[in-house]
């Protein structure tokens, strides 16, 4: 499974966009990029996922570089409630024959400042 690298922490001002980077230089063609977040003392929460194309939903946008070696999660207008640890995870596609086990790293602690 491809390994991901994320900065340990980031700050963001409330109301501004938060851009969280993730490096996955060993990703293979059939692996998806997933983002989960974990607010303090809660279970992780799914945010978004993508394969090649950029994706957007009501929570965030996911930008994947053309070579797929890195991605950026964008929270367009961060609020104090977005303070959490954000995990970038690479998961093989179903055709790879693997289970959908999530392998978490240590993530990025995003602190949204008032």
Give the nearer residue to another protein in terms of CB position, either 41 or 53: 41
Told to check if 10 binds another protein by CB under 8 A, we report: no
Q: Which two tokens stand for residue 60?
A: 């965030």
Q: In this chain, which of 11, 46, 77, 79 binds another protein, going by CB under 8 A?
A: 46
Asked if 29 interacts with another protein (CB under 8 A), we say: no
Q: Which of 52, 43, 84, 86 is nearest to 71 (CA)?
A: 52
Q: Which helix (H) or strand (E) holds 16?
A: none
DSSP states along 42-67? S--EEEEEESSS-EE-SS-EEEE-TT
70 vs 108 by CB, closer to another protein: 108
Residues 47-66 that bind another protein (CB under 8 A): 49
Residues in contact with another protein by CB under 8 A are: 32, 41-46, 49, 87, 91-94, 96, 98-107
């Amino acid at each position: 499974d491809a390994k991901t690298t994320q900065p340990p922490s980031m700050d963001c001002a409330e109301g501004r966009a938060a851009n969280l980077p993730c490096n996955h230089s060993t990703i293979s063609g059939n692996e998806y990029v997933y983002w989960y977040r974990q607010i303090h003392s809660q279970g992780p929460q799914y945010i978004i996922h993508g394969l090649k194309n950029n994706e957007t939903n009501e929570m965030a946008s996911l930008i994947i570089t053309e070579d797929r070696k890195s991605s950026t999660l964008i929270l367009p207008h961060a609020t104090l409630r977005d303070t959490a640890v954000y995990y970038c995870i690479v998961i093989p596609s179903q055709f790879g024959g693997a289970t959908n086990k999530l392998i978490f790293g240590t993530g990025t602690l995003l602190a949204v400042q008032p």
